[in-house]
Amino acid sequence: MNRKSIFIAIFLGLICLFSILLIQYIWIKKALSSQHTEIQLQMRKDSLNAIEFQQKVQGALRETSIKIALLNNDVSDRYGTVRRVQNNLFYVEFQGDLQKDFLINTLTREFDRMSVTNDFVVGLYNCYKNDVQYSHLIKFTGDRLFEKTNISIAHPSFYFTNESHYFAIYFPTVIPKNVDLSEDLGSPWVFLVMVCLLILVYLTYSILIIIRQKKLADIKTDFINNMTHELKTPIATIKLSSTALLSNDFSDDNDRLQRYASIIYSENKRLEEQVERVLTIAKMDKQSTPLKKAIVDIHDFIEEAHETFEMNLEEIGGSFQLSMKAKSHVLYVDSVHIKNVIFNLLDNAIKYRREDVPIQLVVATENDKKNLIIHITDNGVGIDKSDVKYIFDKFYRVPKGDVHDVKGFGLGLYYVKNIIEQHGGTIQIKSEKGKGSTFTITLPLKRIE
């Protein structure tokens, strides 16, 4: 899958996602608006029912109040004796005596006459005794019948506060005020947002996996190309030399015979070493390399490398400076691997030089409290920020289109990092594309194990 197909797949995926979300949005919006209309209708119906209920209750209570007044020969004005405190709570003022049985009988008869069929609590208050004499639930049992119960129901505290006699009627099953059901309408949106987030997370995750897979596939292809390229040259040389040996008679030209044989031998050795090196590093995992540690002077290694590389630089031109300021430079390390690390980094500095400027190499050492720090700086091609984070990965090479002008397998820095970490150290890089790079190795001073 190439880069273009990945982008097309991502683009199509996003279009599908947004289409699904748009359809969802339209559906939910439609469903909500019809639900809203339904709720409004229901609320209107409920409020009409509530008004009707209150009129019936107030009618029945007024009749009850008149009957109580008649019983007590009370001829005072009955206006305002029935009061609605809430949709489900009423109280009625009266003068004189009132038997609870008379009250209950009159109330049930009047409620029945007005077709009020809800359970209710009747509370009777005697202001002389400042006491609630009766407060019980009367249940509607169907067939136009009410039944007294012994269930005592706590009533709101504002029932009996005045200085006259009252009885209060409370309907526990009636909602005290109209509930605004539209408050619940937020939930589908929360759900939709959650679904969107989930899909986005899933999509991002999938895209990251696709990109990672593509990177791995590129690395693999790159590795195979490099390997083929690296192996082809010695194989071709061996083939040429052996063909020459086979097709000619060199029995009287011992020198040429020797030359061809040694070419075959050395190319074969190179081949073997290369395959061995690649396989060893490719198999290498953290902690897998057995280290043979000894006390060594790192400055000696650096000086040795300086001599070797200065000779190389004579051919290609450039300078190699040392700035060894570290006072403690004797460490307990595996000399072969640490030497390889230094040589690898210097090798890279030369491999990845800029053709248009003379190479400038600097190796500097210093100490902090616990470490020896080695900086290897070059003025080469540098590495882009987006690649820096990968360069220590196995097989990773900075992509340069289809053709790599510098040979390699992307194993050198992986090996370097691995070895340094096995010595308890760290390696970091600062690089600027087109300007150069600095690799900084930190190795602990005392690590004798």
Specify the residue, 3 or 229, whose C-beta has the smaller distance to ligand ADP.
Answer: 229
Which among 84, 94, 79, 81 has a CA at the least distance from the CA of 53? 84
Helix and strand numbers (H, E) in the chain are: 8, 13
Separation CA 64–CA 59 (nearest Å): 9
Return the range that interacts with ligand ADP (CB under 6 A); candidates 1-9, 120-128, 212-220, 374-382: 374-382
User: Cβ-closest residue to ligand ADP?
Assistant: 408
Q: Does 381 bind ligand ADP (CB under 6 A)?
A: yes
Helix, coil or strand: residue 424:
coil
**Least distance in Å: CB of 311 to ligand ADP?**
19
Binds ligand ADP (CB under 6 A): choice among 313, 391, 419, 443: 391
Q: How far apart are the first and last CA of the chain?
A: 49
Task: Tell me which H or E stretch contains 126.
Answer: strand 120-126
Binds ligand ADP (CB under 6 A): choice among 136, 155, 397, 423: 397
Q: Does 102 bind ligand ADP (CB under 6 A)?
A: no
**Least distance in Å: CB of 202 to ligand ADP?**
33
Binds ligand ADP (CB under 6 A): choice among 107, 331, 372, 383: 383
**Least distance in Å: CB of 389 to ligand ADP?**
12
Return the range that interacts with ligand ADP (CB under 6 A); candidates 6-14, 19-27, 160-168, 373-381: 373-381
Separation CA 339–CA 299 (nearest Å): 11
Separation CA 87–CA 15 (nearest Å): 54
b/e sequence 114-141, b meaning 16+ C-beta within 10 Å: bebebbbbbbbbeeeeeebebbbbbebe
* Burial of 353 (C-beta count, 10 Å sphere; 0-12/13-18/19+): buried
Residues 6+ apart with CB under 8 A from 420: 341, 426, 427, 441, 443
Q: Does 437 bind ligand ADP (CB under 6 A)?
A: yes
Which among 448, 438, 293, 292 has a CA at the least distance from the CA of 366? 438
Separation CA 326–CA 367 (nearest Å): 5
> 54, 84 in Cβ contact below 8 A?
yes
**Least distance in Å: CB of 267 to ligand ADP?**
21
**Which residues within the stretch 308-367 sit at the binding site for ligand ADP (CB under 6 A)?**
348-349, 351-352
Return the range that interacts with ligand ADP (CB under 6 A); candidates 160-168, 257-265, 289-297, 396-404: 396-404
Q: What are the residues facing 306 on neighbouring strands?
A: none
Token pair recorded at residue 372: 């020896």
Specify the residue, 318 or 412, whose C-beta has the smaller distance to ligand ADP.
Answer: 412
Q: Does 219 bind ligand ADP (CB under 6 A)?
A: no
**Least distance in Å: CB of 278 to ligand ADP?**
10
> 347, 308 in Cβ contact below 8 A?
no
**Least distance in Å: CB of 353 to ligand ADP?**
8
Separation CA 324–CA 328 (nearest Å): 10
Binds ligand ADP (CB under 6 A): choice among 82, 92, 103, 398: 398
Specify the residue, 65 or 348, whose C-beta has the smaller distance to ligand ADP.
Answer: 348
> 162, 127 in Cβ contact below 8 A?
yes
Binds ligand ADP (CB under 6 A): choice among 64, 365, 378, 443: 378
Q: Does 410 bind ligand ADP (CB under 6 A)?
A: yes
Binds ligand ADP (CB under 6 A): choice among 409, 419, 425, 443: 409
**Least distance in Å: CB of 215 to ligand ADP?**
14
**Least distance in Å: CB of 403 to ligand ADP?**
13
**Least distance in Å: CB of 406 to ligand ADP?**
7
Contacting residues toward ligand ADP, per CB under 6 A:
348-349, 351-352, 378, 380-383, 391, 396-398, 408-414, 437
